[in-house]
A and B are shown apart, each in its own frame.
Chain A
């Protein structure tokens, strides 16, 4: 074998693999540690300051007063509304995503697998704003959905639905149902892909073993497939839940005038200039996700990992 040309640097790194590792991980660690987490903690620190109501200046003394403000009725409504919406979107996305992911993981091969990935990813390639405005048109009173209901002489169904207080409204585009549908559409890929990845790891023999031991297909779904897909569902729900909680554009374009957390943060740190309250609002999704993951872990959602 021909001898490789001398390379003192390569030789040294080969002899000291820890040095190579250090060189490789230092830049991303600096990015993650300082730029990414550092700025987040700087933001969170703001939530322990308060704003002077007369001067509008920030009072840099530790206080929990700002957190207390979150529990004022008008602010607390925003929290409840956002958490309810994020939960609904997550559950809806899981229900819609599961059969798609199951098909892709168990049955699609070769060309159909490519079609699946393309179908799931394609919506992600177009602009988020374009998609949201398109949905506004679809859901509007003059939109295609209304037209479809009219053509099928089913307008009374839609009208009856829209008259339900809370989720209804003048048209779908100004109702919470409309906001829900757009969220569901926009975040669906983030639910499909993790579930598909989890199901992909379930060997077919495991499903056969379940049937072999006497389980009907429904029992296999409940006792084997769902528990094994659960880590994927949880991973997907982290995306859909936190993305919904933080979003401030969709509820602004589609839905009622009532605000969600993202809009509140946007307004308090912008026009209102109340950075501490904006920061306190921003802490809520983090705390909610923390609680959610702790409960999920305790319920054994990650046992199959």
Chain B
């Protein structure tokens, strides 16, 4: 499979700030790929480097094997769905969608047909004559999607595509984007700070921190076998056990991650006092103080819930304690 996007040693520095620092990355041609990280981690800059809005300070970027390091945005076979949608306020929905075809020089009639087809693809038939200001947030996003897809890009870039939508709409759009990607068979690269979104939608996830990639892998890999404490903490808010504690449990000195939902109140190596409860709807998060370290435990609402101040023992199934390769970060 030809790689859609290849980063080789790419850095982007803004003065002293290393927004992206030595990133190597390969994204497959039919992949749903997530760039996940906290704000300021370099994920958005990476997306902008693919789109051509930024040029790398060092390194090379190629798109389908062709060097695109210094190609301007209008010469790249990629299109972007912007976080703020960036719809043109002076054009109606149809002209927004047909904008790329118009600047390419397509005639009016095929332009109109293609725009209406793209609008149908995102379930917005009949909205062509409206102004973007007359649409809801979710509808605007669909227009932005149609405007990018009408160009038949080889790679679609999405910058925090669901950030501005409310929870229900977000879940619905997650499913729709996934279906759309499978149907079109092109690569979708999306930026998000929401680990749930990245895990549920992406085929592969790259976790960013401080301009560097911490780990690239399938959602299962990133979640179950985090390579750094940062990944363990950021993806799913894992418990990170310090080396002392791990040594006492398994006799090996290394830090380890332990998922809150893997822990049960049963006979096990750790013992502590219940500090607090937090009701999360479907589950309850309990914080237990063990040897000066807070351990988060997630139990289903229907499960046994110890009261505050109770001394409990914590156990987990074999293999749940994940020893991390690296202890830095």
**Which residue numbers of A lie inside 8 Å of B, CB to CB?**
203, 205-206, 208-216, 219, 223-224, 227-228, 300, 303-304
Tell yes or no: B168 within 8 A of A by CB: no
Contact among B73, B84, B131, B147 for A211, CB-based, below 8 A: B73
Contacts of A303 in B (CB 8 A): 89-90, 131
Complex Cα distance, B80 from A168, in Å, reads 54
Complex Cα distance, B168 from A62, in Å, reads 69
A213-B82 contact given A206-B88, A208-B53, A208-B73, CB 8 Å threshold: no
Contacts of B40 in A (CB 8 A): none
Contact among B74, B89, B90 for A214, CB-based, below 8 A: B74
Given contacts A208-B51, A211-B73, A212-B80, 13 further A-B contacts (CB under 8 A): A205-B84, A208-B80, A209-B80, A211-B53, A211-B74, A212-B73, A212-B148, A213-B147, A214-B100, A223-B99, A303-B89, A303-B90, A304-B90
Contacts of A203 in B (CB 8 A): 84, 86
Classify chain B: how many residues form its interface, as a range. 20 to 34
- Chain B residue nearest to A211 (CB atoms) is B73
B227-254 vs A, Cβ < 8 Å mask (1 yes, 0 no): 0000000000000000000000000000
8 Å CB interface, B79-123 against A: 79-80, 82-84, 86, 88-90, 99-100, 102-104
- Chain B residue nearest to A228 (CB atoms) is B90
Q: Is the CB of B90 within 8 A of A212?
A: no
Q: Is the CB of A208 within 8 A of B103?
A: no
Contact among A208, A213, A300 for B100, CB-based, below 8 A: A213
CB proximity of B83 to chain A, nearest CB, Å = 8
Q: Is the CB of B72 within 8 A of A211?
A: yes
- Chain A residue nearest to B131 (CB atoms) is A303
CB proximity of B262 to chain A, nearest CB, Å = 42
Q: Is the CB of A214 within 8 A of B151?
A: yes
CB proximity of A238 to chain B, nearest CB, Å = 20
CB proximity of B106 to chain A, nearest CB, Å = 11
Complex Cα distance, B73 from A227, in Å, reads 22
Q: Is the CB of B51 within 8 A of A223?
A: no
Contacts of B51 in A (CB 8 A): 208, 212
